């Protein structure tokens, strides 16, 4: 198994949110994506004691099912957590690797009242990975990743509506004509859509 290092950045150079070290490996034979969260360094203090209770959330996009969301354990009272934890996405195809993005690699702070606070995030386009070759990352966290208006926008589907103002009823009548290309929400690749 070969290893390749991505450009790395030191958290002392240009960030106050901290840096995240992780590796990604696409196991083509077993159709799985292995995401190893190694450690973070210099995380922004989130608690009154000047520390944080950090964990990492992963979100594979496009796709909104719970199977696309994974998270590490929470480490208490540290700004330099060491997880060494591997999270695995199963059923990943070559096509997924070309079109999906591990967009929300979010580092969050868990507090005892359940109000989890966002520290920072980064994202990786999976097409940058080579099959069966581990790639290491050491990336400064950002507050909000700006949306790239290119081909990486998450398409969640389209809806056609009709609108008519009724003077008799004194209100707007909204009709749902049809929806197409909806994002798969269930494990079977389909959705059970409704409109509110």
Structure-block tokens of residue 28: 């083509």
- Predicted pLDDT at 9: 42
- Give the model confidence (pLDDT) of 21-48 as tens digits: 999 999 999 999 999 999 999 998 888 8
- Predicted pLDDT at 100: 86
- Predicted pLDDT at 65: 65
- Predicted pLDDT at 11: 38
**Which residue, among 3, 13, 20, 44, has the nearest Cα to 136 in the 3D structure?**
3
- Predicted pLDDT at 187: 61
pTM listed for this prediction: 0.66
Distance CA 196, CA 175 (A): 11
Domain(s) labelled CATH 2.60.40.150 in the chain stretch across: 2-140
In this structure, which CATH number among 3.40.50.300, 2.40.50.100, 2.60.40.150, 2.60.40.10 belongs to the domain 2-140? 2.60.40.150
- Predicted pLDDT at 99: 87
Which residues of the chain carry a pLDDT beneath 50? Answer: 6-15, 149, 151-153
- Predicted pLDDT at 152: 46
């Amino acid at each position: 198994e070969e290893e390749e290092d991505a450009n790395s950045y030191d958290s002392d150079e240009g960030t106050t949110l901290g840096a995240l070290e992780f590796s990604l490996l696409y196991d083509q034979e077993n159709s799985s994506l292995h995401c190893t969260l190694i450690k973070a360094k210099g995380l922004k203090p989130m608690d009154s004691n000047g520390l944080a209770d950090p964990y990492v959330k992963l979100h594979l996009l496009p796709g909104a099912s719970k199977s696309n969301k994974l998270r590490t354990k929470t480490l208490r009272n540290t700004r330099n957590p060491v997880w060494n934890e591997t999270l695995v996405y199963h059923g990943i195809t070559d096509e997924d690797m070309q079109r999906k993005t591990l967009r929300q690699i979010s580092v969050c702070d868990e507090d005892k009242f359940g109000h989890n606070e966002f520290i920072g995030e980064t994202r990786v386009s999976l097409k940058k990975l080579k099959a069966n070759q581990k790639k290491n990352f050491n990336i400064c966290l950002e507050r909000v990743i700006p949306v790239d208006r290119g081909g990486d926008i998450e398409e969640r589907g389209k809806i056609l509506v009709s609108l008519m103002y009724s003077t008799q009823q004194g209100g707007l009548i909204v009709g749902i004509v049809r929806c197409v290309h909806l994002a798969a929400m269930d494990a079977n690749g389909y959705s059970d859509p409704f409109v509110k």
